[in-house]
A and B are shown apart, each in its own frame.
Chain A
Amino acid sequence: MSYEIPMGPYHPGLEEPYKLNMICEGETVKDAKLHIGFNFRGIEHLAETRNYIQVIALMERVCGICSFIHTLTLCQAMEKLTGLTPPPRAQYIRVIMGELERLHSHVLWAGIAAKLMGFKTMFMTCFEIREKVMDVLQAISGNRVNYAMNRIGGVNRDIQDPLSILAMVEALENEMTRTIIPIFTTSKTATSRCAGIGVLTTERARSLGVVGPVARASGIGQDLRKEAPYAAYAEMDFSVPVVPDGDVRARLLVRALEIMESCKILRQALAKLPPGEIAPPGDSSKFSFVTGTATARVEAPRGEVMYSVSWKEGARMPSRVHVRTPTYVNMPAVRFMVQGARLADTPLIQAAVDPCYSCTDR
């Protein structure tokens, strides 16, 4: 006999509110329905009532984890409309902040995944390391969550002493190589919970158009940092991890390998940080926009983020800011991932997508 079991909108296994109604037979999930929209804040409409300085601070509040990425994408779109190009040092600082945010997001995700497996010790370890990543972010920006680093045409704060940041990054890398990565790849209880569950085949992943680590764990090697480089990514030497298996273990492996690649990028960017200005000279509070719509795409920790910004010449406020977040694209895949899965694995399967409803619902 089948029965329906609700997961959410408020559930200890979920970071944010959404609802997954699962049709089960015994401990096996037969089908699932996803409901979103519990976190709607009307940010896109609010953006139309804020000027070009205020809108950056507003869009930083779209997400608490990838706040830098949102302002970076917005600023890149606005830079297209103003015709400004950030100086090379600002581009490098954007890469450094973007990769630190990726580390922060992936370590946080590893902690949440560990908690969902009932592996609380690993959860604590991950969050301890996350604190250290946040310390580095604080050392650079002065803030731990909303960094206020981006501005149109550059960044707001310089990295005065790259060597000290490099030492912090190396310490972090050592700690992650010693703890998170071996435990997630070798612990028998952890891998037994991940291997072969929540499988998303390459064909299904392609047809659903999933992005980010979810796509890369299903054998689709897409990464905007390589395919459409922005900031200073074209000057960085790194590889894009791709695992073809499509299960939760593959998603875990992709993120673990991405942590190592992020550290590699950080070392390069900090070592090669070019001298010069961090923003174009002139009045930083006056910008002139041309009429039109500009889009920008950035590889966020969860996948591709796209901003579409429309402006009218002479206006101080955007006429439209539209955001497409990776979770919105990835979540329909959860329905297919949980079909045939054990009920016990469903929190982990949905978490393996690394959903962010703060971004999705806005």
Chain B
Amino acid sequence: MSILTALARLLIFPGILFAVPAAWFFLWVERKSVAMMQGRIGPPFMQPFFDFIKLLGKSTPQRTGVAGALMRAWPLIAVSTAAGAVGLLPVLPSSGGFQGDLILLLALLEVPSICIIAAGFTSRSIFGEIGSAREAVLSVSYNVVFLLAIISVAASQHTFRLEALAQAPATSLRWIGILAVLICLPAKLHLNPFSLPNAEQEIYSGPMVEFAGPELAMWELSHGLEWVAATGLVATLIAPQMAFWGLSALAFVALSFGIVLLLSALAAATARLAIDTTVRFYWQCTIIFAVLAVSSALLMRLRS
């Protein structure tokens, strides 16, 4: 892989140039599909982009000191790490060079969540702090399943390289892993029934309560990028490998779109669960998945 190709992948597709419009597109798909399921018209196609531009144009109260600097920094860190995670997705086949690393991708995917927790506490709002505490508890709960799923899939294929993982033949363990990741995605993306950290009716959207203007625009963008990265990760694991790169890209986008629709349907069909029910759910999932993963791994070892 030449340096130019690598740069093109990081900056154009599936990198920044693709990821940012895709983030707005996925946000629109989510809002539009939920609206249609609820019998509403929903927002126009360009609405997430307009929201972003409008928020960028707003002035925010001047915050001084370390807290002010941090409140400006957290959304920027969240955006850059989420964009980096999208850039790492091995949508196009390559021949050597930087192929994307699973552990780096997982770390980058986790940073926006950490930024949200930190942002809530930095804002010093009681609602932000409660939201951050909920996000922290939620994060600990679903991440066990999420990481266990990804890592056991990777370990079974003897590789932590994303591209090699994407090209490896599908096994039963891989499908269990994909299912487990799908179960974790609503919590990762703060969707119903696991939307409790940003519950509007209880804690005024939690950690985001003190953010406005360009900072809020960055949070919205980071949320959109998380959508692209998280759905893209699942799409990468499901997508069949094609000889022609255009078809691979198309399959990636189509699968991501399908996952967005699936998650939106789940969000529209459920109420928000309370924190203890959510934690219980994910720990039960952890036990079930741990049993399945260990038994599948043992079976695979015995067969090989």
Contact = CB atoms under 8 A, between A and B. Distances in A.
A344 B273 CA distance: 9
A186 to B, nearest CB: 12
B268 A118 contact: no
Contacts of B130: 5, 27, 343
B271 A118 contact: yes
A116 B202 CA distance: 8
Given A3-B126, A121-B38, A189 B201 contact: no
Interface stretch (B75-83, B146-154, B189-197): B189-197
A27 B279 CA distance: 14
A121 B37 contact: yes
A13 interface: yes
Contact of A193 (B37, B126, B272): B272
Interface in B264-303: 268-277
Contact of B272 (A12, A27, A119): A119
B137 to A, nearest CB: 9
A345 interface: yes
Interface in A149-206: 187, 189-190, 192-193
Contact of B201 (A13, A122, A342): A13
B52 interface: no
A35 interface: no
Contacts of A343: 130, 202-203
Nearest to A345: B274
A118 B192 contact: yes
Interface residues of A, number: 29
Contact of B195 (A114, A118, A345): A118
Contacts of A189: 192-193, 270-273
B40 interface: yes
A274 to B, nearest CB: 39
A128 B274 contact: no
Main secondary structure of the interface of A (DSSP, over half): helix
Contacts of A193: 271-274
A190 B275 CA distance: 14
A325 interface: no
A190 B273 CA distance: 8
Contacts, number: 76
Residue with the greatest number of chain A CB neighbours at <10 A, chosen from B126, B195, B272: B272
Nearest to A344: B274
Interface in A4-43: 5, 11-13, 27
A221 interface: no
Contacts of B195: 118
Residue with the greatest number of chain A CB neighbours at <10 A, chosen from B37, B126, B127, B199: B199
Interface string B173-205: 000000000000000000011011001111110
A12 B192 contact: no
Nearest to B195: A118
B37 A347 contact: no
A117 B269 CA distance: 12
23 contacts: A12-B201, A13-B200, A27-B130, A27-B275, A117-B271, A117-B272, A118-B199, A119-B271, A120-B34, A122-B271, A124-B38, A124-B40, A128-B39, A187-B271, A189-B270, A190-B271, A192-B274, A193-B271, A193-B273, A344-B199, A344-B275, A347-B201, A347-B202
**Chain A to chain B: the 10 pairs with minimum beta-carbon distance, closest first:** A118-B272, A119-B271, A13-B201, A117-B271, A124-B38, A189-B271, A189-B270, A344-B274, A121-B268, A190-B271
Given A13-B201, A120-B34, A121-B268, 11 more contacts: A11-B204, A12-B204, A115-B201, A117-B271, A118-B193, A118-B271, A119-B192, A121-B38, A124-B38, A187-B271, A189-B192
